[in-house]
Amino acid sequence: MKHVVALSTLYPNAVNPRFGTFVARSLEGLARRGDWRVTLINPIGLPPLALGRYRPLAELAPLAEEGGVTVHRPNFTLIPRIGARRNATAIARAVLPLVRRIHAETPIDILDAQFFFPDGPAAAEIAGATGLPLSIKARGSDISFWGEQGFARNQMLSAAHTATGLLAVSHDLAAQMAAMGMDADKITVHYTGLDRDRFRPFDHPQLRSQLSRELGFVLPDNAPVLACVGALIERKGQGIAIAALSAIPDARLVLIGKGEDAARLRALAISEGVADRVHFAGSVDHDLMPLLLSAADVMVLPTVAEGLANAWVEALACGTPVVTSNVGGARELITCDTAGRLVERSTEAVVAGIKAVLANPAPRTEVAALTEAFSWEANAAALAAHYESLVDAA
């Protein structure tokens, strides 16, 4: 068996079980193949005094077996809010001794960074110190947001130069990476996966009633239900979705996720006069997510930027059309009216997109069929092929 050691600052743990679940599913899929041993290093950033919300993170076990993946959780020193410039170096300093020990016990064939920042520059320092081949994956905001920060851009370009190969979650993101100055010949597009057993259309006549009891708010059978999946942060555009409700009588909007923008969004719903039609579901269990998406008529995400959002794929797989901004890999998924609408990032455009979908709903089975190429098995096979090509080239 070949051995990959992956570095991911975003990965589910007992404190944050929804963080980076897509990373876990991808690496677990690779481990299930049986031809790659998978070790994951999930660096945990802690301030010099780990108090308040950091205390539970400080108590996480440093080693665990999760889904067939060996998971190490070393700590690195984090300076909250102002320490981003030094995070990659701090991570590399904390992780390098662990990588050397793992390599001595079970030789490593390739290093992998699951995000371009700060994981990529950290892994590049480790690769430089160990001589191991390196793959770095870009997922969206690591390029669109951090790429606009001068210090992070420079660190990422240096890491890309060091890397043996690069991955991008969409063709659009690959083009952004090349435009930044990364070597286009190094970049391979690697689409996300999908749990096809879980994410599929559920057409139970009592589905909305069941969810109403489960979630504590009413989803009526005779009104449009809009789902918005994503962290409650301004760039995801939940505020635009809330404002759109005024023009869509009786519609309910379910915000799935949590984040720093929650208070502002609650206040906005009140000021727009739609607070009784906006429901904050918070973080939703993975088994409940496909039921919510299946109960919705439209998934709305007026986002500023994405690579290729897992929420788009999961909604389509549940038979729910998507109304989203024409950004990132959206045009690689929303290729016809059956899939939904690509719209400008304005209230008027979002309203028009939602109304167009509601006026001419496609059969859920036809919407779901658009995701037939997505699975965690296909994702793992492509990832294994990518790693093997880099090992052979090294």
The C-alpha angle 45, 113, 116, rounded to 5 degrees, equals 80
Q: Please, what CATH class does the domain formed by 207-369 belong to? A: alpha beta
What is residue 371's predicted lDDT score, i.e. its pLDDT?
A: 97
What is residue 82's predicted lDDT score, i.e. its pLDDT?
A: 80
User: Does residue 269 surpass a pLDDT of 90?
Assistant: yes
Q: How confident is the model at residue 244 (pLDDT cuts 50, 70, 90)?
A: very high
User: Does residue 115 surpass a pLDDT of 90?
Assistant: yes
What is residue 7's predicted lDDT score, i.e. its pLDDT?
A: 98
CB 290 within 8 Å of CB 332: no
Identify the CATH assignment for 2-193+375-393 out of 3.40.190.10, 3.40.50.11740, 3.40.50.300, 3.40.50.2000: 3.40.50.2000
User: Does residue 205 surpass a pLDDT of 90?
Assistant: no
Domain with CATH 3.40.50.2000 in the chain: 2-193+375-393, 207-369
Token pair listed for 329? 């890999």
pLDDT single digits (tens) 52-103: 889 999 999 999 999 999 999 999 999 887 889 999 999 999 999 999 999 9
| Average pLDDT for 20-47 | 96
Q: How confident is the model at residue 175 (pLDDT cuts 50, 70, 90)?
A: very high
CB 257 within 8 Å of CB 299: no
What is residue 204's predicted lDDT score, i.e. its pLDDT?
A: 82
What is residue 181's predicted lDDT score, i.e. its pLDDT?
A: 97
Residues ≥6 apart with Cβ < 8 Å to 237 = 301, 302, 303, 304, 325, 345
What is residue 141's predicted lDDT score, i.e. its pLDDT?
A: 87
Token pair listed for 197? 């057993």
Token pair listed for 92? 């590399």
Q: How far apart are CA 89 and CA 97, in angstroms?
A: 13
Q: How confident is the model at residue 124 (pLDDT cuts 50, 70, 90)?
A: very high
Q: How confident is the model at residue 50 (pLDDT cuts 50, 70, 90)?
A: confident
| 3-state SS class at 335 | coil
pLDDT single digits (tens) 149-165: 999 999 999 999 999 99
What is residue 100's predicted lDDT score, i.e. its pLDDT?
A: 98
Q: How far apart are CA 311 and CA 229, in angstroms?
A: 6
Token pair listed for 150? 């001068």
| 3-state SS class at 132 | coil
Q: How confident is the model at residue 47 (pLDDT cuts 50, 70, 90)?
A: very high
What is residue 18's predicted lDDT score, i.e. its pLDDT?
A: 86
What is residue 212's predicted lDDT score, i.e. its pLDDT?
A: 93
What is residue 286's predicted lDDT score, i.e. its pLDDT?
A: 82
What is residue 246's predicted lDDT score, i.e. its pLDDT?
A: 94
User: Does residue 287 surpass a pLDDT of 90?
Assistant: no
Q: What is the pTM of this model?
A: 0.91
Q: How confident is the model at residue 14 (pLDDT cuts 50, 70, 90)?
A: very high
Q: How far apart are CA 63 and CA 216, in angstroms?
A: 37
CB 314 within 8 Å of CB 296: no
The secondary structure of 180-230 as a DSSP string is HT--GGGEEE------TTTSS----TTHHHHHHHHHTS---TTS-EEEEES
pLDDT single digits (tens) 300-352: 999 999 999 999 999 999 999 999 999 989 999 999 999 999 999 999 999 99
| Average pLDDT for 281-302 | 94
Proportion of the chain above pLDDT 70, given as a percent: 100
What is residue 184's predicted lDDT score, i.e. its pLDDT?
A: 97
Cα→Cα distances 220→149, 250, 287, 299, Å? 45, 9, 21, 17
